[in-house]
Amino acid sequence: MPKPNPRHPNYPIPGGPELRAKGWRQEGLLRLLENVLSVGEDPDNLVVYAALGKAARNWASHRAIVKALTGMDEDQTLLIQSGKPVGLLKTHAKAPLVIMANCNIVGQWAKAEVFYELQRKGLICWGGLTAGAWQYIGSQGVIQGTYEIFMRIAEKRFGGSLAGRFILTAGLGGMGGAQPLAGRMAGAAILCVDIDPERAAKRRAAGYLEQVAPDLDTALAMIDEAVKDKRATSIGLVGNAAEVYPEIARRGIVPDIVTDQTSAHDLVYGYVPKGMSLDQVKGLRDDGQGQLMAASRASIVEHVSAMLEFQKRGAEVFDNGNLIRTQAREGGIANAFDIPIFTEAYLRPLFARAIGPFRWMALSGEESDIARIDDLVLEMFPDNRIVTNWIRLARENIPFEGLPARIAWLGHGERTALALAVNKLVAAGELKGPIAFSRDHLDAGAMAHPNIMTERMKDGSDAIADWPLLDAMLLSSSMADLVVVHSGGGGYAGYMTSCGVTLIADGTPAAAERLEHALTNDTALGVIRYADAGYEESFEEIEAKGIGYVPV
């Protein structure tokens, strides 16, 4: 039976042994669709995160998707175009159950204003990354990535520890909300600014923020005390980052680390300009888009100017993937890209080996299933410091949202081995139900984004989008259960293309076949992508693991 959801009472958390569909593959995907709404920011409007990232185009489309999933046979494939089901076709039992293409606009037309017009006409929706692919697991989905960034900075700049260090950031939405907990887990004193008091309260209630300060003076005093005591803490502050960052700089305070995860990617539905209330912004979204975009960009100029000033004074400053540098450069800051992107600065050696954010969800709804897999991960990968450290930290610090889930940075071969071992546990009845495996779209072979994932590639191949397209075709050929190609919407329009995948481990030999082929080929392509760009780590991985790379 579904479980009550105190955050969104009308969107219960799925679970239980009863099937509404004809098999666990279909039921699993249906539960993942239900889950992204149960943990979403605005489920009444089908918005999962990032202001516009939707699970389906509209409620009629959602109802049609549910009807198709509950009634389809295993030898059929459901086609979804920008959040709307358009076909249920006879294929075969080894074909994907769901194939999606969301928000892919022809290059010369892939602009924010075109997207907004198509959205207004009801012809398109943006799936975000994991939102429209039904793979989002709440803030936990990005907590480990944020934590790993902070720890790489600790190794690079601060002798391996962030104890006694001050992190300044902003944004407490579906993605940014991971930052306070990740910063505290990394041992730092982190101050998180957000314009929306409801978001701050939500993160406080979930335990991500330890406290919410009433004003900037109090917030800085609390941070200063924690820094002196070398005590990890997370403090929230309701305010506009475009005002708070410059004020902190004016006072001569230099944080050790500065970043931002506001919705700067979207100047209409995301970012809130300084001097405007949330209600004023909402009132301009239909008839005042031009005014709102101009005001947002002007605020971002001040926001990023302060970040550059912090960098000049010695802070470690990085872009966390929200296009804020791009908006600032378009607003007139020529050197906005002096701020590095987190992928190139800290994580590229991992991605070159196809080590990235792998995730699994307990379709039973039972936390005990995740606990058993936690034990399995520790048993299988005792020498993997990143994974063993993370599993122990996650168990102690991270509350489940929606379906119990876990994420861990695993690479080529590791993902396949874990999934096959879990499938055996399902078959043996050691788990209460099947497990869904997925990953972030920000993965080695799965994303082309020249301002995030593929910025400053060694061979200059930043903007080539062939790789996520190849990934989607390869995953379809490798029998994955769900395969999706997403491109950017709103302010991300024209900036990225990504591929997502989901597989259901239901304990059957057929599931084992799907898991082995799809997960192995997915990470193999990731290694090949970076080898093709000339990264030595990838060639080492190819040699060590016998990946079928074709040198030219």
User: Binding site for NAD(+): residue ranges?
Assistant: 174-176, 194, 199, 240-241, 261-265, 271-272, 490
Are 450 and 398 in contact, with CB atoms under 8 Å apart? no
Q: Which residues, in sequence order, are CB contacts of 32 under 8 Å at separation 6+?
A: 134, 135, 361, 403, 436, 502
Distance, CA of 360 to CA of 75 (rounded, Å): 25
Q: How many CB atoms lie within 10 A of CB 122?
A: 13
Q: Which residues, in sequence order, are CB contacts of 546 under 8 Å at separation 6+?
A: none
SS3 255: coil
Distance, CA of 139 to CA of 525 (rounded, Å): 27
Distance, CA of 117 to CA of 450 (rounded, Å): 25
Burial status of residue 8 (CB atoms within 10 A of its CB: 0-12, 13-18, 19 or more): middle
Residue 321 one-letter amino acid: G
Known binding-site residue numbers: 174-176, 194, 199, 240-241, 261-265, 271-272, 490
Distance, CA of 8 to CA of 15 (rounded, Å): 16
**Angle, CA 270 vertex, CA 59 and CA 243 arms, to 5°:** 155
Distance, CA of 267 to CA of 133 (rounded, Å): 24
Core vs surface per residue 330-342: b (16+ CB within 10 A) or e: ebebeebbebbbb
Distance, CA of 545 to CA of 531 (rounded, Å): 14
What six digits make up the tokens of 242?
């475009």
**Residue 509: CA atoms inside 13 Å, Cβ hemisphere, count?**
0
Distance, CA of 121 to CA of 124 (rounded, Å): 8
Residue whose tokens read 């185009």? 57
DSSP 3: B
Are 172 and 142 in contact, with CB atoms under 8 Å apart? no
Distance, CA of 62 to CA of 83 (rounded, Å): 8
DSSP 491: G
Give the residues across from 319 on adjacent strands. Answer: 341
Q: What are φ and ψ of residue 12, in 5° steps?
A: -65, 160
